[in-house]
Structure 1
Amino acid sequence: MSDSDKEDLFYAPAKGLSADAEALSVLEGQYVLHQTIGSGGFAKVKLGTHILTGERVAIKIMDKHQLGHDLPRAYLEVRALKVLCHQHICKLYQVIETTNKIILILEYCPGGELFDYIVSKDRLDEEEARFFFRQIVAAVAYIHSQGFAHRDLKPENMLLDEENRVKLIDFGLCAQPEGGMNCPLETCCGSPAYAAPELIRGSVYLGAEADVWSLGVLLYALLCGFLPFDDDHIPSLYQKIQIGMYEKPNWLSPGAVALIDSMLQTTPIRRITVRQLLHHPWLRTNPSGFLLGPIQYESNYQLIVLDEEVLEEMSLVLSMSPTAVKEEILHWKYDYVTALYFMLMHRKIHHRPLHLRPHSEYIHTGMRGAESLDALDIRKLQKDEKENKYPFLLPVTPAKAKSQQTERESGGVRMSPGLSMDSRLNELMDDQLTMPTRMGKEMKKKGTGVRIGRSIEKGLDRMKNMLTPSKKQSTPSGPTTVKALQNVSTTSSSDPDQILRTLLLGLIEKGISCKQHGYKVRGKADGGRMSFELEVVRIPGYKVVGIKRKRLNGDAWCYKKVCEQVLALTGSIHDSS
């Protein structure tokens, strides 16, 4: 068993193994599965390799039975991804369905979440924010042109590829109004902190206008490193959103303030449109003094005229004529042939050789694949999918505050303002993390300045084995050496064990439950609703070690605060002379 497999077993519960086993049998001969790169209550995402091309892919495995009444959203996401082919939308390569699973083969984006990029920079300067925001506006304009509204735009739903290009993901909450984009919607959904005032009022709304509001919140977050409207108490958050007043830091230029103001208009009809955004002066500003051209939102994908060189290469390995291959592709079944074409095009665009690996007996089996989603009768789902009718937390009259113990006993849940209402799809599989319960209760007392007392000392005694990596936990070579520096923060120390001890102590002192495996630490915060991973790593060319960050699930802004607080401790450590 490989180290990565052992790691999966360490972190993943036994119930996740059956999903892997079923996926392995369906994907045999087509893909090689590697480590889990994301997991949730109903789905997990694994890194994979397409055997024939060697391309890395993200393999999303969804459990239909666990999805339950959320299953229509999975079908809606598939339908949207088949229609939406754009350079700034994460590409769907292949769809496989079995009795129990829906498996999506997706473009792999090694740069991680745009949100993590914000964490690494605290906030972006205007030139860098403009670079990303132009791409985001292009993607949203394209989505609207195809008759869809995204309805959950936020930096956690945007990935970065190897060239730092934005790729939108998560279309489970999108809407495709039957009467077109001017047809009003009624369903409230998405993330409260990014929701437009008309949504939280329970009014009918236009999807495009709601998306523009979310874009305003997003741009503010890029430029400021925090949200314009923020409150742990959801009714208070809703009140702030409906008033529409927010801080305008002095580092924002007049042009940026004007653009944000135009998007964050509480009256939808006064809000700037996406069409107007394409030509907005701030988005066309160039540091050199020359105006950039208007944002081009059209897709770069050619879905009618196919690449002859790619068709020729495919014909050799599939034992079909180029004409037959072309006819097969143009059905756009999103089967193995579709995936192969898209991956070869990806290789060609990035100037990599097209030569395929030797012929495999599984290739033709892969062409048949499992049942296609096109063959499913999902008309009965369309009524619910028409607007994607899923609950959104509506404003309520603030009641008398309950104690935390009473809230737990009554089953009440405090919704994190940055968390989508579809968070059940993104809940981390229960890792059974070690909970410093006694210490956690101490931490929950009022006030942020509570000093660590005897409960911490007792907690440290219990965590003694965690603070010093044993020989069994450490590899002979020590921490992993990273190749890419995405999501890696540098420290001031060359001692990985010292940094690991500081990480663990910092998490414990903050009452954050954590579990260590070698130089990796997984933690849970925000009442267990936010999970993350920190790994002490070596960086090529640096004497000091680094810390690789990864948000696993939950509220991204809570994750940002935890990272800033814990990484500040490690940044203050210096090697002893």
Structure 2
Amino acid sequence: MESGPKVVLGKYELGHVLGRGTFAKVYHAGSLINGATVAVKVIDKCKIKNTTMEPRIVREVSAMHRLSHPNIIKLHEVMATKSKIYLVMEHASGGDLFSQIMQHGPLSEPIARRYFQQLVSALHFCHSNGVAHRDVKPQNLLLDEYGNLKVTDFGLSALPEQLKDGLFHTACGTPAYTAPEVVRRKGYDGTKADAWSCGIILFLLLAGYLPFEDSNIAVMYQKIYGREFKFPTWFSKPVRRVISRLLDPHPQTRMSIDALMRVAWFKKSYKANYMNPDLLLHDNRPNFCMLQKDGQFNLEDGAPVMTAFDLISLSSGLDLSGLFERGKKREKRFTSTKHAKDILEKFEKIGGKLGYKVERRKVGCVVLLKNQLVLSVNLSEVVPGVLFVEIKASGNDVADFEEFYWEDLKAGIQDLVLAWHNESV
């Protein structure tokens, strides 16, 4: 930011604005712990609520939660307040690839191949983890301070749970880079759609312009289906073969990412450490923090620690939980700074007074049974000192839960509650 007092967000000090959009701003920031540079995307919940951006943020966090690769922008942390969501990400100081091409023109074949290898390596890793990017374009390909490519913006990515009959059905992406089958809305293979985009990117890197361009999208897709494009004279024969096989409008015969990685032209000067398993830190997942009061509490009984993927839906004022947990209609949730042992014992005590049969079935869980109603109480740690409590109702009497059972139980446990989620109090 230009001037004024310093803004501290958790362990980060925010600096100048790197970019801004309708719903979010991206700030340059520095870690107060080790001085490391990061980028912080600040999202206004009020602006995105009930818009198409809401599911995009969920997809972005859930996709990046699964992915840790040297050529994919890393998501370090997700933080939330009542009005904002903060995504703390790796900062790529070299800008985006599109700006580089616009400023300096087409690249030489060796340099283009290096960027292309890094892009394909990243997408191959995404696909291996069930993620299709679906918006591969040069504006989403960043460069770090060493000139390494970093794939970003997973807001349009597709996850395995979105598959229907093994295919995706949502039309999305940027027309000039989007595979033709995506527009048809008849179902498509996300990995083959990403392969098409790779063909467009490779052409752009070497030519400095797109193979298919027209202000009329319908005309542009006529050119795509007719494969109406010409190679510049300086394209080598191996490059022409690769691009031709990627820009096949028929996904059944289009070259896949796997097949591409076996092509001799692609493998030339290919550095094996792009796919070195030691660099793919599967367990290096983002942290999630509800920005509340600090506390000195210890979680006992081994309750699991929740991650950003589990918790992004819990931010007060932005209920995204339905996108992850469809069909769970009788749930109550709250956070607490009480000791885990005290919470479980309180549920046992109140349950006993209200006529429930009480059972301890697993670590961090107590079950209350009454007539045909089953209440399962599960504890998880959000951050040190803050526990997340879920009360899930099931059984034949679940329809009567709100009317006959909930208010008495709620009154008995009210002293445990720091904040309710998805509950009017």
Which bin holds the TM-score, normalised by the shorter protein?
A: 0.5 to 0.7
Check whether the contact 1:193–1:230 (CA below 8 A) recurs between aligned residues: yes
Q: Residues 332, 149 of structure 1: CA spacing in aligned structure 2 closer, same or farther, 3 A cutoff?
A: closer
Distance 1:182 1:123, change over 3 A: farther
Determine if contact 2:203/2:243 at 8 Å carries over to the other structure. Answer: yes
Question: How many Å separate the matches in 1 of 2:276 and 2:121?
Answer: 8
Aligned match for 1:380, one of 285, 302, 322: 322
Residues 1:331 and 1:265: Cα distance change in structure 2 (over 3 Å): closer
The alpha-carbon deviation at position 161 of structure 1 amounts to: 0.5
Residue in 1 aligned with 2:37? Answer: 56
Deviations along 1:376-405, one digit per CA (max 9) or x if unpaired, are 364412499xxxxxxxxxxxxxxxxxxxxx
Would the alpha carbon gap of residues 190 and 333 (structure 1) be closer, same or farther in structure 2, given more than 3 Å must change?
A: closer
Specify whether residues 129 and 51 from structure 1 end up closer, same or farther in structure 2 by C-alpha distance, changes over 3 A only: same
| C-alpha spacing 1:261/1:182, structure 2 compared with 1 (3 Å) | farther
Task: Tell me which residue corresponds to 2:287.
Answer: 334
Matched letter for residue 277 of structure 1: L
Q: 1:277 to 1:379 in 2, by over 3 A?
A: same
> Is the 2:45–2:83 Cα contact (8 Å) retained in structure 1?
yes
Match of 2:275 in 1: 297
Distance 2:87 2:79 in 1: 7
Q: Per-residue deviation at 1:242?
A: 2.2
Q: Which residue of 2 aligns with 1:146?
A: 129
What is the DSSP-based 3-state SS (H/G/I as helix, E as strand, rest coil) of the residue aligned with 2:147? Answer: coil
Bigger fraction of residues in helix: 1
Residue 302 of structure 2 is matched in structure 1 by: none
Secondary structure in 2 matching 1:199: helix
Give the distance between the partners of 1:226 and 1:295, measured in 2 at CA: 31
Amino acid at match of 2:322: K
Contact 2:69 2:280 in 1 (8 A): no
Offset at residue 118 of structure 1 (A): 1.3
Q: Quote the Cα distance in structure 1 between the aligned partners of 2:97 and 2:128.
A: 24
Q: How has the CA–CA distance of structure 1 residues 128 and 241 changed in structure 2, closer, same or farther, with 3 Å as cutoff?
A: same
The structural deviation recorded for 1:120 is 2.8
Work out the CA distance in 2 between the residues paired with 1:255 and 1:53: 46
Provide the rounded CA distance (Å) in 1 between the counterparts of 2:162 and 2:86: 31
Distance (whole Å) between structure 2 residues aligned to residue 93 and residue 283 of structure 1 = 31
Question: Residues 219-258 of structure 1: matches in 2 within 5 Å?
Answer: 219-258=202-241
Give the whole-Å Cα distance in 1 for the aligned partners of 2:248 and 2:132: 19
Amino acid at match of 1:167: K
Alpha-carbon distance between aligned partners in 2 of 1:331 and 1:57, rounded to the nearest angstrom: 16
Please state how far the C-alpha of 1:121 moved relative to its aligned partner.
2.2
Q: Report if aligned partners of 1:221, 1:227 keep a CA contact under 8 Å in 2.
A: yes
Q: CA deviation at 1:89?
A: 0.4
Cα deviation code 1:484-534 (max 9, x no counterpart): xxxxxxxxxxxxxxxxxxxxxxxxxxxxxxxxxxxxxxxxxxxxxxxxxxx
State how far apart, in whole Å, the 2-side matches of 1:146 and 1:54 are: 32
Matches within 5 A, 1:55-94: 55-68=36-49, 69=51, 70-94=53-77
Query: Per-residue displacement from partner, 1:424-464 (whole Å, max 9, x unpaired)?
Result: xxxxxxxxxxxxxxxxxxxxxxxxxxxxxxxxxxxxxxxxx
Q: Residue 134 of structure 1 contacts residue 295 of structure 1 at CA under 8 Å; is this kept in 2? A: no
Q: Is this contact kept in 2: 1:217–1:228, CA < 8 A?
A: yes
1:88 and 1:167 in contact (8 A); partners too: yes
Q: What displacement does 1:197 show?
A: 1.3
In 2 relative to 1, CA 64–209 (structure 1 residues): closer, same or farther, beyond 3 Å? same
Per the TM alignment, residue 200 of structure 1 is displaced from its structure 2 partner at its CA by 2.0
How far residue 213 of structure 1 moved from its aligned partner, in angstroms, is: 0.4
Quote the residue 1:44 is aligned against: 25
Using a 3 Å threshold, how does the CA distance of structure 1 residues 261 and 373 change in structure 2: closer, same or farther? closer
Number of aligned pairs?
308
SS in 2 for 1:48: strand
User: Normalising to structure 2: TM-score of the pair?
Assistant: 0.66
Identity %: 35
Q: Structure 1 residues 270, 89: closer, same or farther in 2, change over 3 A? A: same
Q: Secondary structure at the match of 2:161?
A: coil
Q: Tell me the TM-score normalised to structure 1 length.
A: 0.49
Q: Residues of 2 paired with 1:383 and 1:208: CA distance?
A: 26
What are the equivalent positions in structure 2 for 1:469-488 lying under 5 Å apart?
none
Question: Runs of 4+ in structure 1 displaced over 4 angstroms?
Answer: 179-182, 292-296, 330-333, 362-365
Could you tell me which residue of structure 2 aligns to residue 186 of structure 1? Answer: 169
User: Is 1:282 aligned with 2:260?
Assistant: no
Distance of aligned partners of 1:229 and 1:96 in 2 relative to their CA distance in 1, 3 Å threshold = same
Structure-1 residue corresponding to 2:255: 272
Q: Is the 8 A contact 2:65 2:308 kept in 1?
A: no
Amino acid at match of 1:253: S
User: Which residue of 2 is the match for residue 164 of structure 1?
Assistant: 147
Matched, 1:31 2:6: no
Report the Cα distance in structure 1 between the residues aligned to 2:198 and 2:188, rounded to whole angstroms.
Answer: 16
Letter in 2 for 1:5: S
Post-superposition CA distance 1:249-292 (Å, at most 9, x none): 10100010000001000111111111111111111235xxxxx5
**What residue number does 1:5 align with?**
3
- In structure 1, give the amino acid aligned to 2:36: E
Structure 1 residues 85, 332: CA separation in 2 closer, same or farther (over 3 Å shift)? Answer: closer
Looking at both structures, which has the greater relative contact order when contacts are Cα pairs under 8 Å and sequence separation is at least 6?
Answer: 1
- Cα separation, partners in 2 of 1:363 and 1:299, compared to 1, 3 Å: farther
Amino acid at match of 1:380: G
Structure (1 or 2) with the greater strand fraction: 2
Unaligned runs of 5+ in 2: 300-306, 315-319, 327-425
| Code of the aligned partner of 2:257 | V
Instruction: Tell me if structure 1 keeps the 8 A contact 2:118–2:274.
Output: no
Shift of 1:114: 1.2
Inter-partner Cα distance in structure 2 for 1:233 and 1:258: 28
Deviation for aligned residue 1:303: 4.3
Q: Is the 8 A contact 1:141 1:297 kept in 2?
A: no
Report the equivalent of 2:104: 121
User: What secondary structure does 1:5 align onto?
Assistant: coil
C-alpha deviation, 1:166, in angstroms: 0.5
- d(CA) in 2 for partners of 1:161, 1:51: 21
- Whole-angstrom distance in 2 between the partners of 1:182 and 1:88: 31
| C-alpha distance 254-160 of structure 1, shift in aligned 2 (>3 A) | same
> Are 2:76 and 2:286, in contact at CA under 8 Å, matched by a contact in 1?
no
Report the Cα distance in structure 1 between the residues aligned to 2:275 and 2:29, rounded to whole angstroms: 30
Distance in 2, matches of 1:264 and 1:302, equals 30
